[in-house]
Amino acid sequence: MTDANFTQLTESQIDEIAERAAEKAVAKLTEQVYREVGKNVVQKFVYVVGASSIALFLWLQSKGLIK
Protein backbone atom coordinates (compact mmCIF):
# COMPACT_ATOMS: atom_id res chain seq x y z
CA MET A 1 0.00 0.00 0.00
CA THR A 2 1.22 3.45 -0.77
CA ASP A 3 0.82 6.69 1.12
CA ALA A 4 -1.77 7.75 -1.44
CA ASN A 5 -4.22 5.23 0.07
CA PHE A 6 -4.16 6.91 3.47
CA THR A 7 -5.56 10.27 4.48
CA GLN A 8 -3.65 12.55 6.80
CA LEU A 9 -5.19 12.92 10.26
CA THR A 10 -5.51 16.31 11.87
CA GLU A 11 -4.35 17.01 15.41
CA SER A 12 -7.95 17.15 16.63
CA GLN A 13 -8.70 13.76 15.05
CA ILE A 14 -5.61 12.25 16.65
CA ASP A 15 -6.61 13.74 20.02
CA GLU A 16 -10.14 12.36 19.67
CA ILE A 17 -8.83 8.88 18.81
CA ALA A 18 -6.43 8.97 21.76
CA GLU A 19 -9.19 10.13 24.10
CA ARG A 20 -11.53 7.35 22.98
CA ALA A 21 -8.77 4.77 23.38
CA ALA A 22 -8.00 6.04 26.88
CA GLU A 23 -11.69 5.92 27.86
CA LYS A 24 -11.98 2.34 26.61
CA ALA A 25 -8.81 1.33 28.47
CA VAL A 26 -10.09 2.86 31.71
CA ALA A 27 -13.48 1.17 31.26
CA LYS A 28 -11.83 -2.23 30.72
CA LEU A 29 -9.57 -1.78 33.72
CA THR A 30 -12.46 -0.66 35.92
CA GLU A 31 -14.56 -3.63 34.80
CA GLN A 32 -11.69 -6.00 35.59
CA VAL A 33 -11.22 -4.49 39.06
CA TYR A 34 -14.94 -4.76 39.83
CA ARG A 35 -14.92 -8.39 38.65
CA GLU A 36 -11.98 -9.23 40.93
CA VAL A 37 -13.56 -7.44 43.90
CA GLY A 38 -16.83 -9.28 43.33
CA LYS A 39 -15.01 -12.59 43.08
CA ASN A 40 -13.19 -11.93 46.38
CA VAL A 41 -16.43 -10.92 48.12
CA VAL A 42 -18.16 -14.12 46.99
CA GLN A 43 -15.21 -16.26 48.10
CA LYS A 44 -15.18 -14.65 51.54
CA PHE A 45 -18.95 -15.01 51.84
CA VAL A 46 -18.74 -18.73 51.04
CA TYR A 47 -15.92 -19.10 53.57
CA VAL A 48 -17.97 -17.36 56.29
CA VAL A 49 -21.07 -19.47 55.51
CA GLY A 50 -18.99 -22.65 55.63
CA ALA A 51 -17.28 -21.74 58.91
CA SER A 52 -20.62 -20.69 60.42
CA SER A 53 -22.23 -23.96 59.36
CA ILE A 54 -19.48 -25.98 60.99
CA ALA A 55 -19.67 -23.88 64.15
CA LEU A 56 -23.45 -24.27 64.29
CA PHE A 57 -23.19 -28.03 63.76
CA LEU A 58 -20.61 -28.40 66.52
CA TRP A 59 -22.64 -26.20 68.89
CA LEU A 60 -25.86 -28.16 68.25
CA GLN A 61 -23.94 -31.39 68.72
CA SER A 62 -22.50 -30.17 72.04
CA LYS A 63 -26.05 -29.33 73.24
CA GLY A 64 -27.22 -32.81 72.33
CA LEU A 65 -29.63 -31.65 69.65
CA ILE A 66 -27.74 -33.55 66.95
CA LYS A 67 -26.41 -37.03 67.56
The Cα–Cα gap between 18 and 22 comes to: 6
Angle (nearest 5°) at CA 31 between 44 and 27: 160
- Give just the sign of the alpha carbon dihedral 27, 29, 35, 38: negative
DSSP state of 65: S
d(CA 19, CA 7): 20
Q: What is the pLDDT of residues 2-19, one digit of tens each?
A: 666 778 999 999 999 999
Give per-residue pLDDT as tens, 34-54: 999 999 999 999 999 999 999
Alpha carbon distance 21, 60 (integer Å): 58
Percentage of residues in the chain having pLDDT higher than 90: 84
**Does the global pTM surpass 0.85?**
no
